[in-house]
Each structure stands twice: as structure tokens, then as C-alpha cells.
Structure 1
Amino acid sequence: MVLKLYAVSDGPPSLSVRQALKYLDVPFELINVDYGRGEHMTPEYAQMNPQKEIPVLDDEGFFLSESNAILQYICDSYKPTSDLYPQDPKLRAIVNHRLCFNLSTYYANISAYTMAPIFFDYKRTDLGLKKVTMALEVFETYLKKLGTSHVASNHLTIADFPLFNSTMTLEAINYDFSKYTKIYNWYNNFKKNYPELWKISKDAMTEIQYFAENPPDLSNLNHPIHPIRKINK
């Protein structure tokens, strides 16, 4: 039975899992979740993920949410010897750290500034910009201290995917982060060295840019956490 991935086409967590599956050449069925129609808010979806968040992996009835956990599970279950998720405890700890850093700080602060104002009733504020700057400065410091070509090693790991896709949303809104030279070089080297993986992100970026110019009407979504932006018709 082939893995099933319930995902959205423009969400960084979904993109990261898709990139890992592609890089590892693990067959899977991609099932698009229509966010605008609220397909993730249905009782059926809640049976797979009570958090009603995206993505969700279905491995023959074993449902797993949280993209970090999915990335780790895919490697451990399907490609346990891959360098994408190294076995050495210290090397793996760095990968795990970068995954946690992205979730708690980098993506959390960047997406609140880049993505939330596109889809929900949030404003880009000076405080939000300050948090983005802080996240970039910390990430830049990590790259300088480690001194490797990738975020956790001198080769690609699962930590590169979420950090790359978080950074991609900055490019999507034309935020200039070129002064963070370590981040800027790593980001552009990823594009150059992994064109098939970059295409997944590039297609998503095109969607994000479209929605930034043409905000989607989510008035029927009734989102329990994020306030819905009213669209003038």
C-alpha cells in the first residue's frame, strides 16, 4: 500500500515533506486538501488529525501529523541508512535542533509576517518585522558557528527543507534578506544544487504571490484560531 500525504500546495510544512519523499524516492499518493473549502475542518479529517492541521501522513492507517515528526518517521521507516537523517547521536541532535528552531522561532515569526496577512486578518507591523529580523539574525549565527554548507551538516538533511521553505516565503513577498550572507548563499545554493526540490517550492511561491495580489475568500472557513479577513466584493 502506498503512503498517502494529505497536503496543501503552498504550505511550507507540506512542501518540506514532499521534498523529503521525492529526494528519498519513496512512492506516495499526494492528496490535495482544499484549505479554502475547509476540508481540514471536517469531522473526517479530525479523525486523522484532531489538531485539524496540514499535512497528515497515512501509512496504512497509521496517521501522523506535525511535519517534523513526519520527516523523521519517513527516514526511520523507509530509508534508515540515509544521510538525510544521520544516525550519529550528535549529528542527529543538530538536525533535531534545527527542526525545533524552525518550528518554534524561525517559521513561527516569519510566517506570521509573510503568510498570515495574506490569508487572515493580520497586519504586518513593526513588531512583526522585528521578530523576523531576530529570527534571521539567530539563523545566520547558527550557520556561521557550524560553518557547514547546509544547515546541519556538509550535506542535505531533513532540517534544510523546512528552513528553506520558511525562507522562501520571504522571497515571495519580496523581502530582501541578502545582507544575511550565510542564509542568502545557502538558500540560493539549494536552488542551484537541487532543482527538482526547488521546483516544488517555486510552484508554491508562485501561488503565494498570486494570493498576495488576489486574497482568497475564506469567509466560509470559520477558522477556530485565526480571524478571517473580510473580502470586499
Structure 2
Amino acid sequence: MPMKLYGVSDGPPTLGVRMTLKALNVPYEYVNVNFNKGEHMTDSYAKMNPQKEIPVLDDNGFYLQESNAIIQYICDKYGPDSPLYPKDPTARAIVNQRLFFNMGFYYSSIGAYALAPIFFDYERSAMGLKKVENALKVFQTYLERLNTKYVAGDNLTVADFVLITSTMCLEAINFDISGYPLIKKWYEMFKKEHSELWEVAKVGMLELAEFEKNPPDLSTMNHPFHPTRKATK
């Protein structure tokens, strides 16, 4: 049986996993989790992921949480010789660093500024903007210092996937990244040279862009942590 990926269509962590599966041509069944209805807060979902977060992978009864761990597992099991997740310790260390830089610093800053005001009762603030700008500056510095075509070397890796899905959140809210020319160059290059993979992220980006214009009504979300949206943003 093919593995199952439980995710959301516009969630950057889910999209990073889906790009990995596509790049490695791994068959899987995608199960959309209805965030608005709180399907990730149910007892049945908690059996797969006690954190009640999205995504989660079901590989024939083996449940794995956390998108970075899922991506690494998929590469190790289904693409052990793929350059997407290199075996060389130094090359892999750079990829791993980029994965965790994205999770703990880059996406966390972007998500709080770009996505939280769409889906929760948060407002974009000067402090939030400062954190995004700082994250972009650090990313720009990594690109300057490594001086390679991709974010972790001269070859495409899964590190590009997760950083693409974070950066596309900024595009969704029309955030101008032209002040970070190396990031912009890499981002546009990826779209052009890896269009089949970009299509995976593009779907989520367009959904987020539509939500930015017309925020979803989450007042009836069926879980205890749902926010109460303000009448205006």
C-alpha cells in the first residue's frame, strides 16, 4: 500500500514534504486535513500525532511527525542515493542546517508575520516586520557566504524545497524581497528551472494569496484553541 500524507493544501510544511515526494517519484495518497473544521484536533488524529499538528506521515502504520523528519525519512528510505539529501557528512550537515534554520528561524518569523494575521487574531506589527527582515538578512548572508546556485550547494536539495515554501508566503502577501537580491535570484531561478516542483508550491501560494484578500471565517472551528477574528484586519 502507498504511504499516506495527512496535510493541508496551503501549508508550507506539507508542501515541502510533497515536493520531496514528487522529486523522488514516490507514490503516496494525499489526505487533506480540514483545518477550518479542526480535523487535526480530533482524537483519531491525535493517535497519529499527539501534537495535533500538520503534516503527519503514515507509512503502512509507521506514523511520523514533523516535516523535517518526514523529509529526511523519505529521502533515506526511498532515495538513499539521491543528491537531494547527500550522504557526504559535510554536504548533509549544510542541508540539515538549512532545514532547521528554516524551521526555527526563517519560517517561524515569516509564518508569524504573513500567515498568523490571516488565520488567527493577530495583527502585523513593526516587531513582526523587523523579525522577517532579520530572517531575510541572515538568509541573504548564507547565500553570499556559500556562493552556490542553490541554498546548500551547487545541486538542488530538499533544503531548497522548505525555503521555497516559506518564501512563497511572502509572495502571497505581496511582500517585496527585491532588497535581498540573492534570495530573489534564487527564488526566481527555482520557479523557472524547476517548474514542475514549483507547481506544488504555487498552488499553496495562490490559496494563501486569496485568503490574504478574503480571510476565512474561523469562528466556528471545532477545537478549543480556535481564535476569534476581529471584524477588521
Residue in structure 1 matched with residue 155 of structure 2 by the alignment: 155
Query: Where does 1:12-51 land on structure 2 (aligned, <5 Å)?
Result: 12-51=12-51
The whole-number CA distance in structure 2 between the counterparts of 1:100 and 1:74 is 17
Is 2:118 aligned against 1:107? no
Give, in angstroms, the shift of residue 140 of structure 1: 0.2
CA contact (8 A) 1:222 1:228 kept: no
Task: Quote the Cα distance in structure 2 between the aligned partners of 1:222 and 1:100.
Answer: 31
Secondary structure at 1:64 match in 2: strand
Aligned to 1:193: 193
Question: Is this contact kept in 2: 1:143–1:182, CA < 8 A?
Answer: yes
Report if the CA contact (8 A) 1:121-1:226 is conserved: no
Partner Cα distance (2:119, 2:103) in 1: 20
Deviation at 1:227, TM superposition (A): 3.4
- Where 1:115 maps in the other structure, the secondary structure is helix
> How many residues matched?
232
1:136, CA displacement in angstroms?
A: 0.1
Asked if the contact 1:33–1:39 (Cα under 8 Å) also holds between the matched residues in 2, the reply is yes
Gaps of 5+ in 1: none
Where structure 2 has 5 or more consecutive residues not aligned to the other structure, the ranges are none
Contact 1:117 1:124 in 2 (8 A): yes
Segments of 4+ in structure 1 off by > 2 A? Answer: 220-228
Deviation digits for residues 64-84 of structure 1 (CA, Å, limit 9, x no counterpart): 010000000000011101000
Counterpart CA distance in 2 for 1:192 and 1:103 is: 25
Q: Take 2:51 and 2:59, find their aligned partners in 1: how far apart are those partners?
A: 18
> Residue 231 of structure 1: CA displacement?
5.4
Displacement, 1:221? 2.2
- Which letter maps to 1:180? Y
CA distance, structure 2, for counterparts of residue 130 and residue 179 of structure 1? 14
SS in 2 for 1:159: helix
Aligned letter for 1:65?
Q
Contact between 2:219 and 2:226, CA under 8 Å: does it hold in 1?
Answer: no
Note the alpha carbon deviations across 1:101-139, whole angstroms, 9 max, x for none: 001100000110000000100000000000000000000
| Deviation of 1:220 (Å) | 2.4
User: Is the partner of 1:135 in helix, strand or coil?
Assistant: helix
- Structure 2: how far apart are the matches of 1:195 and 1:50? 35
Amino acid at match of 2:148: T
Match of 2:64 in 1: 64
Q: Distance in 2 between matches of 1:153 and 1:188?
A: 17
Q: Normalising to structure 2: TM-score of the pair?
A: 0.96
1:123 matched to which residue of 2?
A: 123
Contact kept, 8 Å, 2:218 with 2:226, in 1: the verdict is no
- Residue 228 of structure 1 and its aligned partner are, at CA, apart by 3.5
In the alignment, what sits opposite 2:54?
Answer: 54
- CA-CA distance at 1:8 after TM superposition: 0.3
Please provide the CA RMSD for this pair: 1.3
Corresponding residue for residue 212 of structure 1: 212
Q: CA deviation at 1:225?
A: 5.2
Identity of aligned residues (%): 61
